[in-house]
Chains A and B, each alone.
Chain A
């Protein structure tokens, strides 16, 4: 199998080309230890295309930089890549060619594709003279949106593959004779294990000379040679080697530029629309306000679209997977254990997953939309100063904001952060953002117990979430995983109108990926809880489900946060809420009315029931149509008032619900993005914080004495958690410095 590596700057249209070439037959390879996805796809029987992360350079001084670039560089130096396709953004020729000069040194057959030529306004590019300057590499011009160009590129790939089987290519060296001399010297004294290192000696020599480390290559023996070279060159230039080499590359590019790029206008200034928009969007005060407005409208769109469709999705699940299977199994007279497993385990599990799909999709869509417009770097510009208090880059603000709608896509959005440390910190902070599912629970409680000022309660819950997140972030970045903030160098691309087709296709693939990667765990875990709530036993003279028995027995644990023993449904609801926060209300209303019942009676005519149910959920898609939930709510409200005896208990319960644990889907997503240890930390950390805050509230309002014990226990738990996780973090850092970024 031969490998073609696709390389280019970020945003050069690389992935679009990849999709066009492979017709999306891509599979995603996950990289050990990090969650940067590198897509690979079979192009033909014996040809594989690898879409490497976008990068500006493949030379790196150490491993402290961005994960994405490291992966691209390590892949090229440590894997057998047979061909390179380099995509160049024609509106950013100079910078794109900097990467090209490095790629050409690899001595691999390379095709260079000049992209986005159709978008050029005031300049024309002379492809032939570019080809001449970079001889003997094939150059073709292409705009990835045109199918003709794709066919052209395909021809090129196929022909080129055939013609350059074993032929060694002469690389272009943009260096002066002195530097060339040094490169040769280093090359000669390099002792390489041929089996392991496949990259060209020359490229390795240049990298070593500029002081870069390459994985699997030891440079200790070269010390004398390097020193001699440095001495020789530094007398002439008095600069560090990497500067000399970078400068040489840029000098070479500048020297060929006049022949390649023909400008109609003398000075190319920034796009005027972009400039005007940036006056507002990156304004010192208006910037943050407009960020909030943009995000608000985005959430509004995503949530209102998703919530109407969500009902449809979960109804489809309920009708077909739960009631449907139940009807069939009932007719078949299958054994009970089998029924419980299929209906409650699998059916309920998949239904939980189904209800997540709309919100995950619309959030992916919105994030993708924002990314495509080019606004994201502006958001980082505005929030960077704020986030630096937590030693996080400005980009980390986005996942936290997304957390207010749903924590799951928010955790996935932490992927835009450059280092693993940033991803972990942002991922642990995110669940404290009051998500929409929890809001539904709090709204009912607040309107029941505090009818005169429900918004004050809700608002203080929001604020508490944010404050806890900040404190958590602070503790994480100061004590648990201390680290320096990454320096910021970010391109501000001109604004663009996003192409709907690409965004939708992109969000769809991401959603499907989410379903397969995270979905199986969500189905499994929520299935288990659902089975618990359906298996019933005789208990103290009454038939009760396992979940109720567990709930009744663990209620004393929640005494400290104001749940009395009579109010055991509240503690069952806490457990049920781990599956998905909105189930807290459903569980409470069912338990107060008697017992947990997922399916009371099977409908006599399944199809009539199914059609009726689906029709109703379609009605919800019609704007302004509201189903009447009032009846359920009023009986629930009466019950709530009966069981929660005083308001301070309610407040403690609400704050506990806000903080106690991310829902299963969030935990799993976080575990998949980092690892299970950090997911466990996130869960236990939030649980102990929730205990602490809830019991503090009781203490302050009730002056209950037994809470002192609870408070001191939780404080000890928190301290232990910090100490243990700090050790884990140190171990992880130690392990990773050795064999990080191992490719397959």
Chain B
């Protein structure tokens, strides 16, 4: 599942990475998006092609198209 399938406010966990830029993947991991990490989608902005997520107590913005590299699972609440 990709980050873009989720609605704002939903929780998800990372379970892996798709093929893609190694630097980008490492940067995501240094921000805490390692397999097993849980985050909340705070905002999806298709007009700006942005997604804002809340992880480990801070907000992060990613481009929606680039964030496709994250394989995620939705967490049921």
- Residues of A bordering B, CB below 8 Å: 56-57, 59-62, 64-65, 91-95, 98-99, 211, 239-240, 242-243, 246-247, 250-251, 268-270, 278, 282, 284-285, 287, 377, 380-382, 384-385, 388, 487-493
CA–CA, A284 to B49, complex, Å? 10
CA–CA, A60 to B6, complex, Å? 30
Name the contact of B61 in the complex, choosing from A59, A65, A492 (C-beta under 8 A). A492
CA–CA, A62 to B61, complex, Å? 23
Judging by beta carbons under 8 Å apart, are B57 and A247 in contact?
A: no
Given A487-B63, A492-B60, CB of A381 within 8 Å of CB of B50: yes
| Residues of chain B contacted by A270 (CB below 8 angstroms) | 42, 54, 59
Between A and B, 23 residue pairs with Cβ closer than 8 Å are A61-B25, A91-B58, A95-B56, A98-B30, A243-B25, A246-B30, A246-B34, A250-B32, A251-B36, A282-B48, A287-B48, A381-B50, A381-B52, A384-B50, A384-B63, A385-B50, A487-B24, A487-B63, A489-B28, A489-B31, A489-B61, A490-B61, A492-B52
Judging by beta carbons under 8 Å apart, are A381 and B34 in contact?
A: no
Name the contact of B48 in the complex, choosing from A246, A384, A487, A491 (C-beta under 8 A). A384
- Is the C-beta of B5 less than 8 angstroms from some C-beta in chain A? no
| Residues of chain B contacted by A98 (CB below 8 angstroms) | 30, 32
Given A243-B17, A270-B42, CB of A492 within 8 Å of CB of B57: no
| Residues of chain B contacted by A287 (CB below 8 angstroms) | 48
Least CB distance from B43 to A in Å reads: 7
Task: Name the CB-closest residue of B to A274.
Answer: B59
Least CB distance from B39 to A in Å reads: 12
Judging by beta carbons under 8 Å apart, are B58 and A92 in contact?
A: yes
CA–CA, A297 to B68, complex, Å? 38
Name the contact of A384 in the complex, choosing from B16, B29, B49 (C-beta under 8 A). B49
Name the contact of A491 in the complex, choosing from B16, B42, B59 (C-beta under 8 A). B59
Judging by beta carbons under 8 Å apart, are A95 and B31 in contact?
A: yes
Judging by beta carbons under 8 Å apart, are B60 and A491 in contact?
A: yes
Judging by beta carbons under 8 Å apart, are A56 and B31 in contact?
A: yes
Task: Name the CB-closest residue of A to B30.
Answer: A57
CA–CA, A487 to B62, complex, Å? 8
Interface SS of chain B: mixed
CA–CA, A103 to B32, complex, Å? 17
Judging by beta carbons under 8 Å apart, are B35 and A243 in contact?
A: yes
Binary per-residue interface labels of chain B (3-29) against chain A in the complex, 1 for a CB within 8 Å, 0 otherwise: 000000000000011000111111111
CA–CA, A338 to B67, complex, Å? 66
| Residues of chain B contacted by A490 (CB below 8 angstroms) | 60-61
Least CB distance from B4 to A in Å reads: 15
| Residues of chain B contacted by A492 (CB below 8 angstroms) | 52, 58-61
Judging by beta carbons under 8 Å apart, are B37 and A250 in contact?
A: yes
Judging by beta carbons under 8 Å apart, are B34 and A239 in contact?
A: no
Judging by beta carbons under 8 Å apart, are A239 and B16 in contact?
A: yes
Judging by beta carbons under 8 Å apart, are B63 and A246 in contact?
A: no
CA–CA, A742 to B21, complex, Å? 25
Least CB distance from B5 to A in Å reads: 20
| Residues of chain A contacted by B25 (CB below 8 angstroms) | 61, 242-243
- Total number of A-B contacts with CB less than 8 angstroms? 129
| Residues of chain B contacted by A95 (CB below 8 angstroms) | 30-32, 56, 58
Name the contact of B35 in the complex, choosing from A60, A62, A94, A239 (C-beta under 8 A). A239
CA–CA, A77 to B10, complex, Å? 41
- Is the C-beta of B76 less than 8 angstroms from some C-beta in chain A? no
Judging by beta carbons under 8 Å apart, are B61 and A377 in contact?
A: yes
Judging by beta carbons under 8 Å apart, are B26 and A246 in contact?
A: yes
| Residues of chain A contacted by B43 (CB below 8 angstroms) | 278, 282
| Residues of chain A contacted by B61 (CB below 8 angstroms) | 377, 380-381, 488-492
Judging by beta carbons under 8 Å apart, are A242 and B26 in contact?
A: yes
Least CB distance from A536 to B in Å reads: 60
Judging by beta carbons under 8 Å apart, are B24 and A489 in contact?
A: yes
Judging by beta carbons under 8 Å apart, are B58 and A493 in contact?
A: yes
CA–CA, A59 to B52, complex, Å? 25
Given A250-B32, A491-B60, CB of A284 within 8 Å of CB of B42: no
Given A62-B22, A270-B54, A491-B60, CB of A57 within 8 Å of CB of B17: no
Q: Nearest 8 pairs between A and B by C-beta? A: A57-B30, A61-B22, A284-B47, A492-B59, A246-B29, A56-B30, A94-B56, A487-B24
CA–CA, A64 to B23, complex, Å? 8
| Residues of chain B contacted by A243 (CB below 8 angstroms) | 16-17, 25, 29, 34-35
CA–CA, A62 to B22, complex, Å? 8
| Residues of chain A contacted by B48 (CB below 8 angstroms) | 282, 284, 287, 381-382, 384-385
Name the contact of A61 in the complex, choosing from B23, B57, B58, B62 (C-beta under 8 A). B23
16 new A-B contacts, CB < 8 A, other than A59-B26, A59-B30, A246-B30, are A60-B26, A65-B27, A98-B30, A211-B22, A243-B29, A247-B35, A282-B48, A282-B52, A284-B47, A385-B50, A487-B21, A487-B23, A487-B24, A488-B66, A491-B31, A493-B59
| Residues of chain B contacted by A382 (CB below 8 angstroms) | 48
Judging by beta carbons under 8 Å apart, are A268 and B57 in contact?
A: yes
Judging by beta carbons under 8 Å apart, are A242 and B62 in contact?
A: no
| Residues of chain A contacted by B21 (CB below 8 angstroms) | 64, 487
| Residues of chain A contacted by B32 (CB below 8 angstroms) | 94-95, 98, 250
| Residues of chain B contacted by A92 (CB below 8 angstroms) | 56-58
CA–CA, A382 to B45, complex, Å? 10
Least CB distance from B69 to A in Å reads: 9
| Residues of chain A contacted by B54 (CB below 8 angstroms) | 269-270
Least CB distance from B22 to A in Å reads: 4
CA–CA, A703 to B50, complex, Å? 49
Task: Name the CB-closest residue of A to B32.
Answer: A95
Q: Which of A62, A95, A99, A268 has the most CB of B within 10 A?
A: A95
Judging by beta carbons under 8 Å apart, are A385 and B36 in contact?
A: no
Task: Name the CB-closest residue of A to B45.
Answer: A284
Task: Name the CB-closest residue of A to B48.
Answer: A385
Least CB distance from A557 to B in Å reads: 47
| Residues of chain A contacted by B59 (CB below 8 angstroms) | 270, 491-493
Judging by beta carbons under 8 Å apart, are B36 and A247 in contact?
A: yes
Name the contact of A489 in the complex, choosing from B16, B37, B45, B60 (C-beta under 8 A). B60
Judging by beta carbons under 8 Å apart, are A247 and B34 in contact?
A: yes
CA–CA, A152 to B17, complex, Å? 44
Judging by beta carbons under 8 Å apart, are B26 and A94 in contact?
A: no
| Residues of chain A contacted by B36 (CB below 8 angstroms) | 247, 250-251
| Residues of chain A contacted by B52 (CB below 8 angstroms) | 282, 381, 492
Name the contact of B57 in the complex, choosing from A56, A94, A377, A487 (C-beta under 8 A). A94
| Residues of chain B contacted by A250 (CB below 8 angstroms) | 32, 34, 36-37
CA–CA, A696 to B69, complex, Å? 48
CA–CA, A269 to B28, complex, Å? 21
Least CB distance from A8 to B in Å reads: 13
Task: Name the CB-closest residue of B to A484.
Answer: B21
| Residues of chain B contacted by A491 (CB below 8 angstroms) | 31, 58-61
Least CB distance from B49 to A in Å reads: 5
| Residues of chain A contacted by B17 (CB below 8 angstroms) | 240, 243
Least CB distance from B27 to A in Å reads: 5
| Residues of chain B contacted by A247 (CB below 8 angstroms) | 29, 34-36
Least CB distance from A267 to B in Å reads: 10
Name the contact of A488 in the complex, choosing from B23, B37, B47, B62 (C-beta under 8 A). B62
Task: Name the CB-closest residue of B to A212.
Answer: B26
Least CB distance from A265 to B in Å reads: 12
CA–CA, A56 to B30, complex, Å? 6
Least CB distance from B70 to A in Å reads: 11
Given A95-B31, A250-B34, A489-B60, CB of A282 within 8 Å of CB of B26: no
